[in-house]
Structure 1
Amino acid sequence: MSWTRWPLTIAGRWLVPLLMIVFALAVMSLRYQHQMRQIDQDVSAQESQRLRERLSIEQTRMDEQAGLGNSLLLHRLVGGLALHQGLNQAYLVGPDERVLTSLSRLDIGQPLNAVLSRVGGSSSPLQALAVAPSPSAIVVERLAQQPVFIGLVPLQGKLRLLVQVDMSYPLAARRASEQAELVREGLVLLAAVVILTVLLHLLWFRRAKSLALALTAMGAGNLSVRTGLIGRDELAHIGEAADRMAEQLQAGQDRIRRMSDIINRSPLVVIEWRNAEGWPVRYVSDSVSQWGYQPADLLNGPLQYIDLIHPDDVQQMNDEVTRYFAQGPDEYRQEYRIRKADGGWAWIEDRTSLTRDERGEVDTISGILLDTTVQKEAQLAQREQAEQLRMFYELPFLGMAISSPLDKRWLQVNDRLCEILGYPREELLDMSWAQMTPPGDLERNVALFDELLAGHRSGYQMAKRFVRKDGSMVHTELDVRAVRDRNGRIRQLFATIQDVTERTQAEAALQDYKEMLEQAEALVQLGSWAGDVESQQLTISAQLVRNIGLDPAGRMPSDAEYLARIHPDDRAMVAEDMQCIRNGGEAGDLVFRTDPAHGPMRWLRRTVRRISRETEGRGPRYIGTLLDITEAVAAEARLKRLNQELEERVAERTAQLSQANMELEAFSYTVSHDLKAPLRGIDGYSQLLVEEYGDRLDDEGRRFVERIRKGVQQMSDLIADLLAYSRIERRDMVHEPVALLPLVEQVVDSYHADIEKHGTEVRLAMEPFTLPLDREGMAVVLRNLIGNALKFSRDSASPRIEIGARHETGRRILWVRDNGVGFDLKYHDRIFGIFQRLHRAEEFPGTGVGLALVAKAVQRMGGRVWAESQPGAGATFYLEFLE
């Protein structure tokens, strides 16, 4: 028996159910495969779009932080990518192909290839994308046969962001949902087959077949067919019922057809949903085509109604539906957006009715959808326009007002105008603009206003002044426009008032500055110029034109006219320099002469400064001056002659000075030896006179001898101080690093006997440091200052000396302070002169050379000395040296 004929051996009541089961299983299998492929495509598209949008947002944020160099926020942004569902790898890669930041701290600082090899081996999904050239836009790709997306985001500074997203979870969720739906549909189908099989076994197959054929014809829409069954059994009753039903359905079908035609011709979309996940559609009218869909797309196609709703409206819609389902009412309205087939969005008004079962649960949902996109967009545009108008009217830098054409009163003003005029809004609305306009400006304003009222102009602009509330004057730019009604009559005037007081003052100041600059240039004969290589524009001042012997009242001279005024020997040099500047090259300062053929020859110095604008992608600019240095050149020539004469005089004076120095050295030798010898004789003989003949002298004689000895000693000290002063004056100062603290301690120790004798307290308030000084000269200075401090503080109740130092910027200041007799500061300059004394020798012995010696030594070492004192309050002597 042929395998194609074996089904004929099976009874029809068994074969039909069997074939139905096989057919149902085949359809379910094909539908399952189709749905799985569709789910994979939908999830892939959805996840790709979601990843691309997320990467676009992160690109903007990371570019901003990369431009600011904020590595910490870049690390946080990359770490925040872990919140993206399925994103398991993210790497921020620098120009050197090293990972700057990642979801794992172990990857930071590692080469990208090493990290990818460690994570996924040589077949890592990111490996191929990492080695590809950096794109100019975001790249999102799905790996073939894998639920994995990889993305590449180019960033500023040659940075790249690599990510990998696993979409297994959303794919599995969608598949599980669809599988559950298919299982439910399969169970329903199998139940129907079982019921049919039972009926076939219970009833007569021929009559059932006849009935089935009739019903099939009716179900196909042929309601004129009748079953023709007679009898009193169930099949007959069913046949009769089917015939009556066919008659009723035929009548109802006619009514429904007429209603459907009416609905399909209207802009309303009639729709019915089942109360299930995704709002599956049971019925939708043909008028859904206005959004680019066919009814089959929503009834049997892959689209679900929930997928058409705008993402921003889904949550609000679900919340409202949940409330209506739980609390009612069963008729309500909603407004939301749905996606059209072309990708656009349509606003709809949804008038929904709920049908509940006997338990009060919602069974079906029917709705009438009305497209309100035009009205909604008009409403939003009107609202946006109103908001923009409000924002424009309240601009903080522009005064605005509406005034009456009848009495010139303000009808409405903004805050900026109140600020400009200095009036509160309430006061300003009680006034007219004519009251605030000063004479002169008022007449011009009224004339323009009258022309506007007469219809000669639609508006006017003018510069005018207003008198502020405080009496001051404000300069403004006024722009007035007329607002007319349908009949052309002026209803009101709209004005904008801009405060230009500062600009007016600045322009006046600029004009004054320009005039002063021109006068200054003329005074010093200094011309100025500026040139732009990109625009080849050159501007020169009037004085520059005068300097080359032209009239500044004429036009600006050309290059040829300028060069014609240059000395023939200097013309080629100036022309070459001008061409270098026009080509954007480097240029230095020039000195050249004018052509004597056009008047007295003048010497000119041209200076220039090049301003580079490479960062702006533009050519450089030049600014410079042209100075008449004729007198300076003549003065320089005279100076050269004078210098030559001076050098000859200096040579002559040097020879004379050398001779004088030799004579001074000889004089010093004479003072040191010839003058001291008689003093030593007088001192010796007076000593012998006291020792050998003292008992023969009376008291007055001994006093005479004592005065002779004191005079000799004073004369000897004076000669010694003069020699010391002469040596300080003549000797070469050898500057070397000198440790000040040991030197001070050494000088203080040399006065140990005097310190012990008078019980003087000596305090050192200085830290170790060195200065470039002449050690011997500094020792002389310290001996004189410390010796003076000991001498003038010896009569104090508690003699005290302080020696200290402090550091200031680039210099050191030392001081020697005592609590002695002090002096009046009006004698400050006198005490540093030679042989100058403020006290009698009987009170405080000395020659008056010590402080002069200090001043000379400090001056020779490049320092400064001064004193501070009050009579009876001690004195402080300061020394200042550069470090």
Structure 2
Amino acid sequence: LYPAGLEAADAVLAQLDPGRSLTREYRIERPDGVERWVEATLKPHVDDGTLVRIDGIVSDVTESREAQAELAHRNEELVTLYRISELTLAAESLQQAYDEALAEVSRATGFPMVWIEHHDAERDLMRVSAAHGLPDEATGWAMPMHETPSGSVVSTGKAVVEREVRTRNDFEAEALAGLDLHTYMAFPLYRGRSVSGTLTLAHTERLDPTPRLVRWAGSLAHSIAALSDRLASEDALKESEQRYRRLAEQLQQANDELEAFAYSVSHDLRTPLRTMTGFAHALLEAHGGELSEEARDYARRIIESGRRAEDLIRDLLAYSRLSFESLELQPVDLGEVVAEVKDQAAVDLRDSGAEVIVESPLPTVRANLTTLVQVVSNLVSNALKFVPEGRTPRVTIRAEERDDVVRLWVEDNGVGVPEGQEERIFRVFERLDEAAERPGTGIGLAIVRRGMERIGGRAGVEARDEGSAFWIEVPRERKRGWSPWNRGRKSAS
């Protein structure tokens, strides 16, 4: 043993109990001044009650103790980081999370004063947004960038570590001067790639921060920055959810008002129209023989105008309903849809002598039955109306399966759609010059487009050498139990 270790060794020997082994760790100092830790295991030998010798092994355990100490520090760091991360879930507000996180930082580092400063870029100030160990009024302090070391951290992105902060030229803020600070450490808080503020630790004593402490405090700054980002994002998400909830409520209220308005207008407009056309019918039936041909023609025009106005109101209501009604999607058999449309159009089909060809079978899609019937009905009605004079309408209805959608075609031999007008005809009240003298309200194809959008589909038209080919695309209904892993397998039966 070196002389400096004799005192420690004597202390160990004093604990020796004859007849029993003893193991102890103690610190010694080498002649070069380096301190080491050793572990001594001693076994005394006694002869007739007299200690005759001691056998022992002395090992240098300095590295082992340092490794254990490092592991303990690491565990403490992990526990602290875990506690800070928990605040994201437990804290009810960003300020509460800051207060609890700063208290945890103070406990873990031993620095009594810890605070967060955020950079006010517009006014070039550093503002204290949360503090632990500072006066109550500290939260809200605003200091010019050049009067606080935190300003340098924000400008350079580099930490400031000072044993004596009062020697710095940028330690001039009046608020800081009254705290009697000496040791000072400030670390950048990053938001993305830019520094948004600092985590500052301060002590009224002059300390020599170790590399371990500096590294540890920097890790805490990263955790605080991540905590701030998460909570700020959550606050923004909550605010966004509240805003969208309010918008949804306002939209629902507007839809309710629109629905009430639509039905009110329907009633208020239809009542005088029916009265007008009713009196015109009565005039013709009761006094038709007394009227001149010109007067009877006026009465017939009144009746026809009333009928067109009724059709217009009906289509407007149908279009508006598609905007605010809730549509439930379910499996829909296109064959049943086409059969229903043919039943509804039976009179028009008979009167026009139209030929309707349905290429069966038609697949099942996922849609809303009522909406799909209305859409296909409008396309068939459109095909019957717009045919050249003297031509018998011919309508072909067929389907194509394309990946996850089904395209239903309604092809006609009508007047066709001029090139460049394919999108225009789907707008409300848009009628081509060729259709000016034909019956219709100019809303039928707009209803087709809006209806398909509401059920997640599309609608369009393609020109043909003769007539047009209108199409709608609807999501295909998958068979129950379908799975990509079942492809190619035979069902057990």
TM-score (norm 2): 0.50
Residues 1:704 and 2:298 are matched in the alignment: yes
Give the distance between the partners of 2:78 and 2:471, measured in 1 at CA.
59
- 1:732 is displaced (CA, Å) by 1.9
Among 827, 835, 848, the residue aligned to 2:429? 835
Same amino acid, percent of matched pairs: 36
> Deviation per CA, 1:792-815, whole angstroms, max 9, x where unpaired?
136363432110001122221111
3-state DSSP class of the match of 1:600?
A: strand
CA spacing shift, 1:878–1:847, aligned 2, 3 Å: same
CA contact (8 A) 1:803 1:814 kept: yes
3-state DSSP class of the match of 1:762?
A: strand
1:662 alignment partner in structure 2: 256
**Bigger radius of gyration, 1 or 2?**
1
1:873 alignment partner in structure 2: 466
1:780 alignment partner in structure 2: 374
- 1:649 is displaced (CA, Å) by 2.7
1:642 alignment partner in structure 2: 236
1:727 alignment partner in structure 2: 321
Count of equivalent residues: 281
Unaligned runs of 5+ in 2: 1-66, 83-104, 106-157, 161-184, 194-221, 477-493
Among 805, 808, 817, the residue aligned to 2:399? 805
Give the distance between the partners of 1:635 and 1:796, measured in 2 at CA.
73
- 1:595 is displaced (CA, Å) by 8.6
2:188 alignment partner in structure 1: 600
Give the distance between the partners of 2:466 and 2:285, measured in 1 at CA.
44
Give the distance between the partners of 1:693 and 1:603, measured in 2 at CA.
86
Letter in 2 for 1:851: L
CA spacing shift, 1:820–1:635, aligned 2, 3 Å: farther
CA spacing shift, 1:603–1:726, aligned 2, 3 Å: closer
Give the distance between the partners of 2:346 and 2:390, measured in 1 at CA.
18
Give the distance between the partners of 2:223 and 2:406, measured in 1 at CA.
44
CA spacing shift, 1:838–1:571, aligned 2, 3 Å: same
CA spacing shift, 1:639–1:840, aligned 2, 3 Å: farther
> Deviation per CA, 1:341-375, whole angstroms, max 9, x where unpaired?
xxxxxxxxxxxxxxxxxxxxxxxxxxxxxxxxxxx
1:757 alignment partner in structure 2: 351
Give the distance between the partners of 2:425 and 2:229, measured in 1 at CA.
44
Letter in 2 for 1:681: T
- 1:860 is displaced (CA, Å) by 1.2
Among 443, 447, 456, the residue aligned to 1:849? 443
Give the distance between the partners of 1:659 and 1:571, measured in 2 at CA.
51
- 1:571 is displaced (CA, Å) by 8.9
CA spacing shift, 1:878–1:571, aligned 2, 3 Å: same
2:453 alignment partner in structure 1: 859
Q: How does 1:167-178 map to 2 (within 5 A)?
A: none
CA contact (8 A) 1:796 1:820 kept: no
Task: Select the structure with the greater relative contact order (CA < 8 A; seq sep ≥ 6).
Answer: 2
- 1:701 is displaced (CA, Å) by 2.5
- 1:683 is displaced (CA, Å) by 0.5
CA contact (8 A) 2:189 2:225 kept: no
CA spacing shift, 1:600–1:703, aligned 2, 3 Å: same
1:4 alignment partner in structure 2: none
Letter in 1 for 2:474: F
3-state DSSP class of the match of 1:847?
A: coil
Among 819, 823, 826, the residue aligned to 2:420? 826
- 1:845 is displaced (CA, Å) by 0.7
3-state DSSP class of the match of 1:812?
A: strand
- 1:790 is displaced (CA, Å) by 1.3
2:208 alignment partner in structure 1: none
Q: How does 1:553-632 map to 2 (within 5 A)?
A: 569-570=77-78, 599-602=187-190
CA spacing shift, 1:660–1:811, aligned 2, 3 Å: closer
Q: How does 1:85-484 map to 2 (within 5 A)?
A: none
Letter in 2 for 1:716: E
CA contact (8 A) 2:362 2:398 kept: no
> Deviation per CA, 1:101-159, whole angstroms, max 9, x where unpaired?
xxxxxxxxxxxxxxxxxxxxxxxxxxxxxxxxxxxxxxxxxxxxxxxxxxxxxxxxxxx
CA spacing shift, 1:601–1:567, aligned 2, 3 Å: farther
CA spacing shift, 1:789–1:629, aligned 2, 3 Å: farther
Give the distance between the partners of 1:793 and 1:868, measured in 2 at CA.
16
- 1:840 is displaced (CA, Å) by 6.2
CA contact (8 A) 2:333 2:365 kept: yes
CA spacing shift, 1:798–1:662, aligned 2, 3 Å: closer
CA contact (8 A) 2:387 2:393 kept: yes
CA spacing shift, 1:882–1:738, aligned 2, 3 Å: same
CA spacing shift, 1:699–1:796, aligned 2, 3 Å: closer
3-state DSSP class of the match of 1:846?
A: coil
Give the distance between the partners of 2:341 and 2:244, measured in 1 at CA.
41
2:266 alignment partner in structure 1: 672
Give the distance between the partners of 1:722 and 1:567, measured in 2 at CA.
71
2:282 alignment partner in structure 1: 688
CA contact (8 A) 2:383 2:414 kept: yes
CA contact (8 A) 2:458 2:472 kept: yes
- 1:603 is displaced (CA, Å) by 7.6
3-state DSSP class of the match of 2:442?
A: coil
CA spacing shift, 1:570–1:838, aligned 2, 3 Å: farther
Give the distance between the partners of 2:447 and 2:235, measured in 1 at CA.
40
Among 475, 478, 481, the residue aligned to 1:882? 475
Letter in 1 for 2:278: G
CA spacing shift, 1:601–1:734, aligned 2, 3 Å: closer
CA contact (8 A) 1:603 1:630 kept: no
CA spacing shift, 1:769–1:632, aligned 2, 3 Å: farther
Q: CA RMSD in A?
A: 3.7
Letter in 2 for 1:720: R
CA contact (8 A) 2:362 2:399 kept: no
CA spacing shift, 1:802–1:841, aligned 2, 3 Å: closer
> Deviation per CA, 1:440-477, whole angstroms, max 9, x where unpaired?
xxxxxxxxxxxxxxxxxxxxxxxxxxxxxxxxxxxxxx
CA contact (8 A) 2:363 2:399 kept: no
CA spacing shift, 1:632–1:570, aligned 2, 3 Å: closer
CA spacing shift, 1:764–1:604, aligned 2, 3 Å: same
Among 746, 754, 771, the residue aligned to 2:340? 746
